[in-house]
Amino acid sequence: MTAYTDESAARTLIVRTARSLFTRGLTHGSTGNLSVRLADGTLLLTPTGSSLGTVEEADLSRTDLSGKHLDGLRPTKEAFLHAAFYRARPSAHAVVHLHSTHAAAVSCLDNVNPADVLPPLTAYYAMRVGTLPLLPYHAPGDSSLEPLAERTARTHHAVLLANHGPVVAGACLEHAADAIEELEETAKLHLLLRGHPTRPLTPEQVAAFAPAPF
């Protein structure tokens, strides 16, 4: 996948994806944000305070790779997270951040493995997410998280922000959205199975479905 060359089509895709995520209950209110990387290296993002259920193509913000606002409405206050993922992963062309209910719930649990928060319960989770590190709590919009996010994104395309929610990068917006939805479903399964004996995939089974590098 190369960077998005048609800005108009990219705007349409962002809004269509935002609507899909919102109407299916994967985010709520004015939470969550999406972005894509355009061919000129700039980023198109959903703006601050917007709802993924009502955002329009003309509302989108543009920033550079440092997160500097270039034009459009003021970008999401988490634009720095998107920029950090793109700098860390030159082949990523989309980033999705949600406050999806079950993933956010897992991000609040005590005594989890911060190196890999969720067990590999299904092949699709192993294939689309892989390992999921937990980044320590920072208030929304706290840019002091940026260096840690960038370092972690060099080796993981998905992270979970403590007491917050997931961030996932993808080679394209469809892949990033699919992966974050798989993450949410696995978080739901994990919570449903708490207190029950479980049988996650073995390391050998996980290795057979490791996410393709991008």
pLDDT truncated to tens, each residue of the chain (214 aa)? 678 999 999 999 999 999 999 999 999 999 999 999 999 999 999 999 999 999 999 999 999 999 999 999 999 999 999 999 999 999 999 999 999 999 999 999 999 999 999 999 999 999 999 999 999 999 999 999 999 999 999 999 999 999 999 999 999 999 999 999 999 999 999 999 999 999 999 999 999 988 888 8
Q: Specify the pairing of strand 158-161 against strand 165-170.
A: antiparallel
Domain ranges of the chain: 7-208
The phi and psi torsions of 187 (rounded to 5 degrees) equal -60, -40
Q: Is 86 a catalytic residue?
A: no
Tally of CA atoms within 13 A in the half-sphere of 22 that contains its CB: 19
What CATH class does 7-208 carry? alpha beta
Catalytic residue among 4, 7, 86, 124: 124
Residue 125 annotated in active site: no
Would the pTM of this model clear 0.85, i.e. be above it?
yes
The single residue of 4, 78, 150, 184 carrying the catalytic annotation is 78
Torsion of the alpha carbons at 15, 17, 18 and 24, rounded to the nearest 10? 140
Amino acid residing at 51: S
